[in-house]
Structure 1
Amino acid sequence: MKVTVKKSRTRFIAIAAALICTLSLTACNSNGTSSQTESSNTVNSSVSADSSSSNNSYEAWSDEIVLSNIIPEVKGTVDHTYENTEEELWITFKSVDDSQYKDYLTACKNRGFTVEEKTDSLGYTAFNADGYQIELTYFGSSEDLTILLKAPMEMDEIIFPIGQAGNAVPKPKSTFGKIDYERDDRFSLYLGNTPKADYNEYVTACIDKGFTVGYRKDDKFYYAYNADGWYVSLEYVGFNVMRIDVRPPEEPDESEQSSDASKPETTNAPETSKPAEADASGLRSDFKEAMDNYESFMNDYVDFMKKYQANPTDLSLITDYATYINKYNELSQSFEKWDSSDMNDAETAYYLEVQTRVNNKLLEVSQ
Structure 2
Amino acid sequence: MTTPEVNLGAGPQPNQQTYMASAQDVYGALEQMLQFSAGFDLIHKDDQTRTVTFSAPVISGLFIAKVAEGTDSSFSTVQVTVPAEAGESAQQEIAKFYKDLGDQLMVQAPTQTMPPATTTVLTTQEQPTQAMPTMDATTTTTTPVSTTPTSGAADGNQSGAGAHRAPKNKFAALLTDENTGRTSAIAVASLIVSAVYFLIGLFAMGTHPSIGLCVVLAIVPIVLCILAFSQTQPGRKHGRMLTVIAAGVTVVALVLSLIGAASGRSSSSSSSSSSSTSEDTTSCSAVTFPRDGISAKLPAMDNAQGRIYYEYSDHMAMQVCNISPEEFNDYVEKIKKAGFTADYEKSSVHYQAKNNDGDEVRVQYGESYKQMTIQIESASYIKEQEEDDAADEEAAKKAEEEAGKKAEEEKKAEEERKKAEEEQKRLEEQERRAQEEEAKKQQGAQNQNSGGVTPAVKEAMDSYESYMNKYCDFMEKYNSSSDQSGMMTEYLKMMQEYSDMTQKIEGMDQSTWTDADLQYYLEVMNRVNQRLASVG
TM-score, scaled to structure 2: 0.23
With a CA cutoff of 8 Å and minimum separation of 6, indicate the structure with the bigger relative contact order: 1
| Structure (1 or 2) with the larger CA radius of gyration | 2
* Structure with the bigger percentage of helix: 2
TM-score, scaled to structure 1: 0.32
